[in-house]
Amino acid sequence: MSNETILAKLFSEFPQTSSRTKRSGPLAPGVAFITGGARGLGNAIAVSFARDGARGVVIVDINQDTLNEGKKIVESYGTKCLAIQADVTKEEDIERAVAEAAKEFGRIDYAANFAGILGPMDQTSELPLEGFQKVMAVNCTGVYLSTKHELRQMMKQDSIEVEEGRVEQRGSIVNCASINSGMALPGTLPYTTAKHAVLGITRTAALEARSQGIRVNAVSPGFFLTDLLKPVVGTVVPMAFYDACETRQGRAAKFEEVGDVVVLLSGPRMSLVNGANLPIDGGFTINEA
């Protein structure tokens, strides 16, 4: 058999695409579940899912007043939003939140774990143990618990509707890492340690869940002037230093740029992307300048 015949046979058995129709309809028609979803980057993700056609959005946060405001923003796009007060460091709270979301919408198709705190900024030799433990509880244990119970729910459900010929997808999880997941800055031990740990959670879960038709990835936002940073920029962190970081990033970033990336990464078109950590930093981490 000639090489040309072999190639022709392979392409007939494994075509480049099985669908001959143009794509139409919403980009993310399923149900999204976002921890830390009441404000900041988390709420931007919730809004992006609403704008891209999600039939339901669940936002989970610890503060009820913030939840109420975040829910209003999501619902202004005509999407049903369920707001759940929960502490991501408490397993019973996360288990309850996932159960409430599944009871309301029947399933969770896309999860984004973005609850987080900055924590104390101090030298390692001077850092109080309780400060370290608090950051690890929210930014590391919270991601672990959220991933754990999101996986349990996704494993129980059928695949979301996918294009003909595309592999089934029972769910997608995107965890919030950071450029600090691969870099460090003096005075950021708890935050940097936790973000390195998020990659460990993501990659391990990705390998375990792929046989179930579930993908687990992470994103690493660069410099965004979030509510976490506002209290320290200009005080603990000199304004000149922050401006220099934005310059290395190329420009100031918009929250919606993270939201849109998470939506794209969550959809079935990204079916072979698993265990990845995608920088959202304008090139900060590759810039030697």
User: Are 125 and 108 contacting, i.e. CB atoms less than 8 angstroms apart?
Assistant: no
Residue of 71, 110, 144, 191 with catalytic role = 191
Q: Among 17, 151, 45, which residue's Cα sits nearest to residue 94?
A: 151
Sign (positive/negative) of CA torsion 177, 60, 172, 201? positive
* Residue 191 known to be catalytic: yes
According to DSSP, the residues that pair with 81 across neighbouring strands are 57
* Residue 195 known to be catalytic: yes
- Identity (one letter) of the amino acid at 176? C
Sign (positive/negative) of CA torsion 88, 90, 96, 102? positive
What separation, in Å, do the N-terminal and C-terminal C-alpha atoms of the chain show? Answer: 55
The packing angle between helices 91-105 and 142-155, to 10°, is 30
Residue of 71, 110, 144, 195 with catalytic role = 195
Enzyme catalytic residues: 191, 195
